[in-house]
Amino acid sequence: MDYVLVKHRFRNCVKNAQTLPGADIDSDHNLLVPKVRTRLKIIRLQKSRPRWDFEKLYTQRQRVQDTLEEKFGAIECESGNAEVQWKNIKECVLDAISDLVGKVEKRARKPWITQEMISKMDKRKKWKNVNTEEGRRNYRRLRNELKRATEKAKRNILRTHVQRLWNFT
Protein backbone atom coordinates (compact mmCIF):
# COMPACT_ATOMS: atom_id res chain seq x y z
CA MET A 1 0.00 0.00 0.00
CA ASP A 2 1.31 3.47 -0.91
CA TYR A 3 0.82 6.58 1.20
CA VAL A 4 0.65 10.34 0.79
CA LEU A 5 2.83 12.05 3.37
CA VAL A 6 1.46 15.39 4.52
CA LYS A 7 2.30 17.47 7.54
CA HIS A 8 -0.27 17.30 10.30
CA ARG A 9 -1.25 20.90 9.71
CA PHE A 10 -2.17 20.26 6.05
CA ARG A 11 -3.96 16.93 6.45
CA ASN A 12 -7.32 18.51 5.54
CA CYS A 13 -5.90 19.68 2.19
CA VAL A 14 -5.84 16.13 0.77
CA LYS A 15 -9.38 15.56 -0.49
CA ASN A 16 -9.10 12.22 -2.27
CA ALA A 17 -6.44 9.75 -3.36
CA GLN A 18 -6.62 7.07 -6.06
CA THR A 19 -4.18 4.48 -7.29
CA LEU A 20 -3.51 3.94 -10.98
CA PRO A 21 -2.34 0.33 -11.20
CA GLY A 22 -1.82 0.35 -14.96
CA ALA A 23 0.62 3.28 -15.03
CA ASP A 24 4.02 2.41 -16.48
CA ILE A 25 6.40 3.90 -13.91
CA ASP A 26 9.02 1.10 -13.85
CA SER A 27 8.38 0.20 -10.22
CA ASP A 28 6.60 -2.48 -8.25
CA HIS A 29 4.48 0.25 -6.62
CA ASN A 30 1.20 1.60 -7.94
CA LEU A 31 1.00 5.25 -8.87
CA LEU A 32 -0.94 7.19 -6.20
CA VAL A 33 -2.64 10.38 -7.35
CA PRO A 34 -4.08 12.62 -4.62
CA LYS A 35 -6.49 15.52 -5.10
CA VAL A 36 -5.15 18.37 -3.05
CA ARG A 37 -6.72 21.75 -2.38
CA THR A 38 -4.40 24.46 -1.18
CA ARG A 39 -5.20 27.97 -0.17
CA LEU A 40 -2.39 30.48 -0.21
CA LYS A 41 -2.32 33.24 2.31
CA ILE A 42 -2.79 36.75 0.98
CA ILE A 43 0.23 38.81 1.89
CA ARG A 44 -0.58 42.46 2.41
CA LEU A 45 2.36 44.79 2.00
CA GLN A 46 2.40 47.63 4.46
CA LYS A 47 3.01 51.07 3.13
CA SER A 48 6.42 52.14 4.37
CA ARG A 49 6.45 55.26 6.46
CA PRO A 50 9.05 57.92 5.73
CA ARG A 51 12.08 57.87 7.97
CA TRP A 52 12.92 61.39 9.07
CA ASP A 53 16.46 62.54 9.70
CA PHE A 54 16.27 63.22 13.44
CA GLU A 55 19.88 64.39 13.69
CA LYS A 56 19.04 67.27 11.35
CA LEU A 57 15.88 67.91 13.35
CA TYR A 58 17.87 68.28 16.55
CA THR A 59 20.45 70.56 14.94
CA GLN A 60 17.77 72.78 13.35
CA ARG A 61 15.41 72.62 16.32
CA GLN A 62 14.86 76.38 16.59
CA ARG A 63 14.12 76.83 12.87
CA VAL A 64 11.64 73.96 12.92
CA GLN A 65 9.97 75.34 16.02
CA ASP A 66 9.64 78.82 14.49
CA THR A 67 8.22 77.40 11.26
CA LEU A 68 5.71 75.28 13.16
CA GLU A 69 4.59 78.28 15.23
CA GLU A 70 4.03 80.29 12.03
CA LYS A 71 2.04 77.48 10.42
CA PHE A 72 -0.02 76.86 13.56
CA GLY A 73 -0.81 80.58 13.72
CA ALA A 74 -2.10 80.45 10.16
CA ILE A 75 -4.53 77.60 10.93
CA GLU A 76 -8.05 78.80 11.46
CA CYS A 77 -9.40 77.73 14.84
CA GLU A 78 -12.46 75.53 14.62
CA SER A 79 -13.61 74.53 18.05
CA GLY A 80 -16.23 72.01 16.88
CA ASN A 81 -14.54 69.39 14.70
CA ALA A 82 -11.56 67.64 16.29
CA GLU A 83 -10.95 65.47 13.24
CA VAL A 84 -10.40 68.48 10.97
CA GLN A 85 -8.15 70.13 13.55
CA TRP A 86 -6.03 66.98 13.84
CA LYS A 87 -5.74 66.75 10.06
CA ASN A 88 -4.60 70.40 9.83
CA ILE A 89 -2.03 69.97 12.62
CA LYS A 90 -0.70 66.78 11.06
CA GLU A 91 -0.34 68.45 7.64
CA CYS A 92 1.51 71.40 9.18
CA VAL A 93 3.96 69.19 11.06
CA LEU A 94 4.63 66.93 8.07
CA ASP A 95 5.10 69.89 5.71
CA ALA A 96 7.50 71.64 8.07
CA ILE A 97 9.56 68.54 8.76
CA SER A 98 9.73 67.46 5.12
CA ASP A 99 10.79 70.97 4.03
CA LEU A 100 13.40 71.60 6.72
CA VAL A 101 14.63 68.17 7.79
CA GLY A 102 14.10 65.72 4.96
CA LYS A 103 14.09 61.96 4.90
CA VAL A 104 16.90 59.59 5.76
CA GLU A 105 18.34 57.81 2.77
CA LYS A 106 18.36 54.04 2.77
CA ARG A 107 20.89 52.72 5.21
CA ALA A 108 23.18 49.86 4.33
CA ARG A 109 22.88 46.72 6.38
CA LYS A 110 26.49 45.77 5.77
CA PRO A 111 29.42 48.08 6.52
CA TRP A 112 30.87 47.79 3.01
CA ILE A 113 27.73 48.93 1.17
CA THR A 114 27.97 52.54 0.04
CA GLN A 115 25.26 54.95 -1.02
CA GLU A 116 26.50 54.63 -4.61
CA MET A 117 25.87 50.88 -4.47
CA ILE A 118 22.36 51.43 -3.15
CA SER A 119 21.58 53.81 -6.01
CA LYS A 120 22.92 51.23 -8.49
CA MET A 121 20.71 48.60 -6.88
CA ASP A 122 17.68 50.85 -7.36
CA LYS A 123 18.57 51.47 -11.02
CA ARG A 124 19.08 47.75 -11.57
CA LYS A 125 15.70 47.04 -9.99
CA LYS A 126 14.02 49.40 -12.46
CA TRP A 127 15.53 47.58 -15.46
CA LYS A 128 14.88 44.07 -14.16
CA ASN A 129 11.37 43.64 -15.55
CA VAL A 130 11.87 45.49 -18.85
CA ASN A 131 11.64 42.74 -21.46
CA THR A 132 13.32 44.51 -24.35
CA GLU A 133 16.81 44.04 -25.68
CA GLU A 134 17.86 47.43 -24.32
CA GLY A 135 16.34 46.61 -20.92
CA ARG A 136 18.21 43.31 -20.68
CA ARG A 137 21.44 44.98 -21.79
CA ASN A 138 21.11 47.76 -19.20
CA TYR A 139 20.20 45.27 -16.47
CA ARG A 140 23.19 43.08 -17.30
CA ARG A 141 25.53 46.10 -17.39
CA LEU A 142 24.28 47.41 -14.03
CA ARG A 143 24.44 43.93 -12.50
CA ASN A 144 28.07 43.53 -13.58
CA GLU A 145 29.02 47.01 -12.34
CA LEU A 146 27.35 46.34 -9.01
CA LYS A 147 29.01 42.95 -8.72
CA ARG A 148 32.45 44.45 -9.35
CA ALA A 149 31.85 47.30 -6.91
CA THR A 150 30.62 44.99 -4.14
CA GLU A 151 33.49 42.55 -4.58
CA LYS A 152 35.99 45.41 -4.46
CA ALA A 153 34.36 46.89 -1.36
CA LYS A 154 34.27 43.50 0.36
CA ARG A 155 37.95 42.95 -0.39
CA ASN A 156 38.83 46.39 0.96
CA ILE A 157 36.85 45.92 4.18
CA LEU A 158 38.37 42.46 4.65
CA ARG A 159 41.83 43.92 4.06
CA THR A 160 41.24 46.61 6.70
CA HIS A 161 39.99 44.03 9.20
CA VAL A 162 43.04 41.86 8.61
CA GLN A 163 45.32 44.90 9.00
CA ARG A 164 43.64 45.75 12.30
CA LEU A 165 44.12 42.19 13.50
CA TRP A 166 47.80 42.21 12.50
CA ASN A 167 48.30 45.55 14.26
CA PHE A 168 46.48 44.27 17.33
CA THR A 169 48.82 41.33 17.84
Span 34-85, pLDDT tens digits: 999 988 888 888 777 777 878 888 888 888 888 888 888 877 666 668 888 8
Per the structure, the complete domain to which residue 70 belongs is given by 54-100
Together in a domain, 121 and 96: no
- Dihedrals φ, ψ of 4, to 5°? -110, 120
Q: Is pTM, for the whole model, over 0.75? A: no
Amino acid symbol at 100? L
Q: Are residues 122 and 156 in the same domain?
A: yes
Q: What is the pLDDT of residue 48?
A: 73
State whether 62 and 92 are in the same domain.
yes
Cβ–Cβ < 8 Å for 143, 124: yes
Residue 110 located in a structural domain: no
In a domain, 21, yes or no: yes
Q: Is residue 67 one of the residues assigned to a domain? A: yes
Residues 160 and 125 in one domain: yes
Question: Which pLDDT does position 154 carry in this prediction?
Answer: 92
* Euclidean distance between CA atoms 34 and 21, whole angstroms: 14
